[in-house]
Structure 1
């Protein structure tokens, strides 16, 4: 840089002399060489550290400024856990069930997958996405892009790139993106003046079906748990997403690119897992036609999957799943109660009663709360549907006995209210039974 500065000073001296001004050829030469020196300076400033290149990161420049971009191409035959990426093409149209009003199903090359690494947890103006992960299908396979800013001044250039990129897609696929990722991005677009042409996607938020299906059968519905327990994906030496902000602040303090290596890897796995999750839900919505994995076999998961599919307008696979749950050697009381509630809503009282009675038989000390619900439902059925006040009273008293055998439940405000309501029901049923000469 000092050599360039000396050359600039010498040229300024010759360019400012009277002789150079009079000689057009000399002046032109001076201007050309000055421009070349300025270009060398800019290139020297923009040159990335070799460590960025080790991470596969390059410099991206547009009319707004510059930022960093990492791009990885995965061939469609690449297997990520249980699924190959090529399966997205086979099931993408089934994902249109998330938006039933659409006349055309989703296509694989019209879905943009998004996952953010941010400086905080909220969606307010102070939370900045320092890494924006994208994944989309192209001719060469699934492409994962990771846009990164080295400092706040690069955010506008990154957003300009994203604004143009996202507009080519119809669907946005995320995990909790409706609550977090997309609101954060919308805030950043607005704050940087891109709100006039903001993208309006059809959202596919896979957290909601994951909770509907797995909330009681998995320890957690975090993406890392879902992918390990249901998608066959194992992470090695993974950096938890919760540490990403801390690592980014460390990078800001030191300027060391390798500080972010684990964050790049974590985000990249998240993107591929989102694609795999889209494939999984697509297969379920397609009634498992052509699927290479087994359908759910845990009774509660079978029922929850069936109920979610019915909510999405699918009815073929749910019937199979419900029957499988009922035939299970160890049916779960929770699953039976959900099926009974479904039958009650449909007016299928005969099977609902059988299911409630089965729950009572199956319930033990560990399942007392299920027995309470089943007894209460039967008490209501016999009181209001059959006007059999004596049988209704028997079930109400049985519910009270189950509740008394679980004293810890009475410490909960909701359980206390239920206990009080049950006592009032018993008092009312006792009066009705006495007036009809049943006691």
Structure 2
């Protein structure tokens, strides 16, 4: 079986002999030298119109002093609406994003560069090649979406030459799982192509992490396509799944027909727009009502609590507290999220609400489970150590032990046995403190 590099090189030979149908030259702004500082040679870079198959997708060939690669550029006006948000909301919401890095200076939309890759594999090692690099950035009153594509290995250096200069003009890199995947992949490719001496080090805004903090148990999936559908009102029609992108690219390498890449371009473009809308969403959430836009409150108590915990982590304690109170007052609050908030209150020394939450958790744990058992243990410790009320403490630890022993689905491993031993020892100690006999 031929290697990926062999297939790409064969395609390179085929494309090199094909003459373009129409040729035009345009000046490309912001193309810079490789190290990566602006170069006078940028004025020599130009775009070339390719065959009808490429032109129908808006794809052109960009030449620079490092070689050539494909580029597709789409322009969206500020009035464009994607899902429930308009792109023009970014200007009013972006200030809130400074909380991600505790920045005191104002954050502006023009400082954000959005990144999303389509790659030949899943790892971050040297064998994984980003064949499509999607970028989005704000320019004046427009959002520019650029997608750079390589047709063979020799085009990668020219693409990275262009990207190195583009990256250097921005302070923040915005992605979805880019801190773990997209950016490490790009760093590897830059280093392998000799662009490592002054590699750009951005402040990263990775929206997978707040999405996980807030929607971990509320949404069935944290894939960007699912988050955008459930929380941003974005519905994709005939979308090519990202998992198919490598297969479609290999198909293109095999036969030279660019048509299969049309869906990959469109999928990546929607990803970029959704990233912008997700930054609007989190910006509004961090700004609160003070930002002039009021997001609807989460309906699920767990999402309220998780949102509050995230806001508190980001420095917005008053707004977080309002969400905590709404969750506590909800009749739909389940045991698990209440225990999560109780743990937060215990750590903060808010014993009054922590006790209330533990009591509520015990009552709502109709089916035996760890949430009710843990809440009973917490109450036993509170009454024993804080109030010296040994009778109440004994009552709660007895209840916890009975639940643990009666749970038909309970674990029977070493950890479970250790938990049971701990409960028995706690009960024995409380029996001695109350002056009762062990038989009781």
TM-score, normalising length: structure 2 = 0.86
Say if 1:287 and 1:316, in contact at 8 Å, map to a contact too: no
SS of equivalent residue, structure 2 residue 260: helix
Supply the distance in 2 between the matched residues of 1:431 and 1:248 (Cα, whole angstroms): 72
Supply the distance in 1 between the matched residues of 2:206 and 2:18 (Cα, whole angstroms): 46
Question: Could you say which residue in structure 1 is the equivalent of 2:391?
Answer: 390
Question: Cα distance, 1:413 vs. partner?
Answer: 6.0
Question: Could you say which residue in structure 1 is the equivalent of 2:81?
Answer: 79
The range that moved more, 404-413 or 164-173, is 404-413
Question: Could you say which residue in structure 1 is the equivalent of 2:263?
Answer: 262
Supply the distance in 2 between the matched residues of 1:213 and 1:390 (Cα, whole angstroms): 39
SS of equivalent residue, structure 1 residue 172: strand
Whether 2:317 is the aligned partner of 1:350: answer no
Supply the distance in 1 between the matched residues of 2:398 and 2:163 (Cα, whole angstroms): 63
Whether 2:406 is the aligned partner of 1:405: answer yes
Question: Cα distance, 1:130 vs. partner?
Answer: 0.4
Cα-to-partner distance string for 1:4-34 (whole Å, 9 max, x where unaligned)? xxxxxxxxxxxxxxxxxxxxxxxxxxxxxxx
SS of equivalent residue, structure 1 residue 86: helix
Stretches of structure 2 that go unaligned for 5 or more consecutive residues are 1-16, 24-47
Say if 2:288 and 2:294, in contact at 8 Å, map to a contact too: no
Question: Could you say which residue in structure 1 is the equivalent of 2:284?
Answer: 283
Supply the distance in 1 between the matched residues of 2:356 and 2:51 (Cα, whole angstroms): 70
Question: Could you say which residue in structure 2 is the equivalent of 1:424?
Answer: 425
Stretches of structure 1 that go unaligned for 5 or more consecutive residues are 1-39
Say if 2:431 and 2:438, in contact at 8 Å, map to a contact too: no
Supply the distance in 2 between the matched residues of 1:275 and 1:246 (Cα, whole angstroms): 27
Cα-to-partner distance string for 1:262-311 (whole Å, 9 max, x where unaligned)? 11111111100100110000011001442254121211101110110010
Change (3 A) 1:254 1:370: same
Change (3 A) 1:292 1:83: farther
CA RMSD, aligned part only? 2.3
Supply the distance in 1 between the matched residues of 2:375 and 2:188 (Cα, whole angstroms): 47
Say if 2:20 and 2:51, in contact at 8 Å, map to a contact too: no
SS of equivalent residue, structure 1 residue 218: coil
Change (3 A) 1:57 1:124: same
Change (3 A) 1:379 1:76: same
Question: Could you say which residue in structure 2 is the equivalent of 1:217?
Answer: 218
The range that moved more, 69-78 or 310-319, is 310-319
Supply the distance in 1 between the matched residues of 2:419 and 2:129 (Cα, whole angstroms): 45
TM-score, normalising length: structure 1 = 0.86
Change (3 A) 1:153 1:325: same
Question: Cα distance, 1:41 vs. partner?
Answer: 9.5
Cα-to-partner distance string for 1:117-159 (whole Å, 9 max, x where unaligned)? 1111011111110000101111141111100001111100000
SS of equivalent residue, structure 1 residue 355: helix
Number of residue pairs matched? 398
SS of equivalent residue, structure 2 residue 276: helix
Supply the distance in 2 between the matched residues of 1:415 and 1:108 (Cα, whole angstroms): 52
SS of equivalent residue, structure 1 residue 196: coil
Supply the distance in 2 between the matched residues of 1:286 and 1:41 (Cα, whole angstroms): 54
After superposition, residues 322-361 of structure 1 pair within 5 angstroms as 322-361=324-363
Supply the distance in 2 between the matched residues of 1:229 and 1:390 (Cα, whole angstroms): 48
Say if 2:49 and 2:55, in contact at 8 Å, map to a contact too: no
Whether 2:120 is the aligned partner of 1:119: answer yes
Question: Cα distance, 1:382 vs. partner?
Answer: 1.7
Question: Cα distance, 1:359 vs. partner?
Answer: 1.0
Question: Cα distance, 1:259 vs. partner?
Answer: 1.0
Supply the distance in 2 between the matched residues of 1:64 and 1:412 (Cα, whole angstroms): 61
The range that moved more, 328-337 or 103-112, is 328-337
Cα-to-partner distance string for 1:386-423 (whole Å, 9 max, x where unaligned)? 23333222211211222233332315665454334333
Change (3 A) 1:41 1:312: closer
Cα-to-partner distance string for 1:97-125 (whole Å, 9 max, x where unaligned)? 0111x331321011001011111101111
Question: Cα distance, 1:226 vs. partner?
Answer: 0.7
Question: Could you say which residue in structure 2 is the equivalent of 1:29?
Answer: none
Say if 1:132 and 1:146, in contact at 8 Å, map to a contact too: yes
Question: Cα distance, 1:435 vs. partner?
Answer: 7.6
Change (3 A) 1:294 1:69: same
From the two aligned structures, give the one with the greater helix fraction.
Answer: 1
The range that moved more, 275-284 or 102-111, is 102-111
Supply the distance in 2 between the matched residues of 1:43 and 1:74 (Cα, whole angstroms): 28
Question: Could you say which residue in structure 1 is the equivalent of 2:274?
Answer: 273
Change (3 A) 1:189 1:318: same
Change (3 A) 1:417 1:275: farther
Supply the distance in 2 between the matched residues of 1:419 and 1:133 (Cα, whole angstroms): 54
Question: Could you say which residue in structure 2 is the equivalent of 1:56?
Answer: 58
Question: Cα distance, 1:424 vs. partner?
Answer: 3.3
Question: Could you say which residue in structure 2 is the equivalent of 1:306?
Answer: 308
Cα-to-partner distance string for 1:345-399 (whole Å, 9 max, x where unaligned)? 121212211111111111211x632211211111111222223333222211211
Whether 2:99 is the aligned partner of 1:93: answer no
Question: Cα distance, 1:193 vs. partner?
Answer: 0.3
